[in-house]
Chains A and B, each alone.
Chain A
């Protein structure tokens, strides 16, 4: 579904990604972990071209999205993204946050989008917040709404960039529960996270990224019980 070939990224001479090769198949839940500054977030942000790769190719559904001829917006409509800092639109109500993109892009009529948004809000138990502004919500509520906003586009893949890192500890659970539900429904997802327990439970594959490369890739069982890479062992001993 997503094929990454020799992905490289430099920021003003600073090499962040040094040639990543990886293939993500339909229905997989890829969890990316690694020390800070390892390039894991950059890797995720390259997948929907929020960061423009400086080398290599990314293929999505059989098209090379790094080809400048490719329509970036069309691609992004099929890849939902959830940010560490939620990035809800503060000047719009919760409902408008969710319906903005589908209506603007003429994928749904206003009425359809509203109905769809309310259905999604009902699912996460926040239907009564539809007309609230984001600043009135807790971090956990904001992040769940951000997830729902991405879902409203009916994406094929969901990208999560440290979705719980900015949350108070007691709100982490509600967000992880929602992501877990989506995973169970078969959504393909790539998750950058520091929640090791969650990674182990939800991931079908765990990647360890360090120095801009995938240093280890394995099933959760093997990854956590028999880490082979020296740096990974060191990393796990610190975080587990």
Chain B
């Protein structure tokens, strides 16, 4: 039997026999689903966290005078510290551990494990996104804030319409990296028995005892997904460059 035949036999064993391709298909669907939802959750919460924390930096500059403003100031101070702690904890604890805590402690008994994955990974990503966006915000010239405010536009609107679009543009490469990281990190959801691409390969491998084909296959799928994601982002980057010189 030649090596071609060996590969063919392994292919049949891995994908065709017992309809094993369906396991990979389910895994692929779940990987994509968890990735997309986590990225969206991460972006939304991450941007909100970044805005809140940047807003606090702005508020901090004014000394509060009235009692109501003082109370609001203290409240905002506490919120900012909680958010800072949140970011520190998320960055300081392995994602697998966070996922396990979410699945077996915080959301213990919750029937849909895919939702648990999305929440755990989305909230994890939010912490990283918030730091990336904060960096982007800080890279925007201070004169932009002053220009918006000098026209009488409020701090919130100025951040939303003037600062964030520019921050987003400079943060885009780092955000792309974060998206790629989320996609690859979904490979740990097998820990709580969700069948993603990696888990699918495990299941098949344990039946066929032929490790090479399933592992090389999912490696190629992950790689292809990352390439598609980066192409999408570089397209977006070119679109956003229209305000630049040249």
Instruction: Identify the A interface with B (CB < 8 A).
Output: 48, 50, 52, 68-69, 73-81, 83, 85, 87-92, 100-101, 104-105, 133-136, 149-150, 153
Contacts and interface: CB of A to CB of B under 8 A. Distances in A.
A62 B152 CA distance: 19
Contacts of B65: 68
Contacts of A87: 141, 143-144, 146-147
Nearest to B245: A135
Given A52-B61, A68-B69, A91-B243, A101 B151 contact: yes
24 contacts: A48-B150, A52-B62, A68-B65, A76-B149, A81-B146, A81-B147, A83-B143, A85-B143, A87-B144, A88-B147, A89-B147, A89-B148, A91-B165, A91-B166, A91-B169, A91-B243, A100-B151, A101-B148, A101-B151, A101-B153, A104-B157, A105-B153, A135-B243, A153-B151
B154 interface: yes
Nearest to B246: A135
Q: Is the interface of B mostly helix, strand, loop or mixed?
A: helix
A89 B162 contact: yes
B161 interface: yes
A52 B150 CA distance: 13
A73 B61 contact: no
Contacts of B152: 73-78, 101, 105, 153
A173 B243 CA distance: 27
A68 B148 CA distance: 20
B242 interface: yes
A52 B245 CA distance: 35
- Give the 6 A-B CB pairs with smallest separation, nearest first: A77-B152, A87-B147, A101-B151, A81-B150, A68-B65, A87-B143
A90 B169 CA distance: 11
Given A83-B143, A133-B242, A104 B150 contact: no
Contacts of A153: 151-152
Contact of B245 (A69, A105, A136, A149): A136
What range describes how many residues of B lie at the interface?
20 to 34
Interface string B49-60: 000000000000
Contacts of B243: 90-92, 133-135
B149 A104 contact: no
Contacts of B112: none
B66 interface: yes
B146 A83 contact: yes
Contacts of A48: 150
Which one of B62, B146, B154, B242 has the greatest number of beta carbons of chain A within 10 Å? B146
A207 B149 CA distance: 27
Given A68-B64, A88-B147, 10 more contacts: A52-B63, A69-B66, A73-B149, A73-B152, A76-B149, A79-B150, A87-B141, A101-B152, A105-B153, A136-B245
A157 to B, nearest CB: 12
A74 B154 CA distance: 10
Contacts of A50: 146, 149-150
B244 interface: yes
B151 A77 contact: yes
Given A133-B242, A133-B243, A150 B151 contact: yes
Contacts of A100: 151, 153, 161
A76 B157 CA distance: 15
A76 B169 contact: no
Contact of B66 (A68, A74, A77, A89): A68
A104 B156 CA distance: 12
Interface in B201-246: 242-245
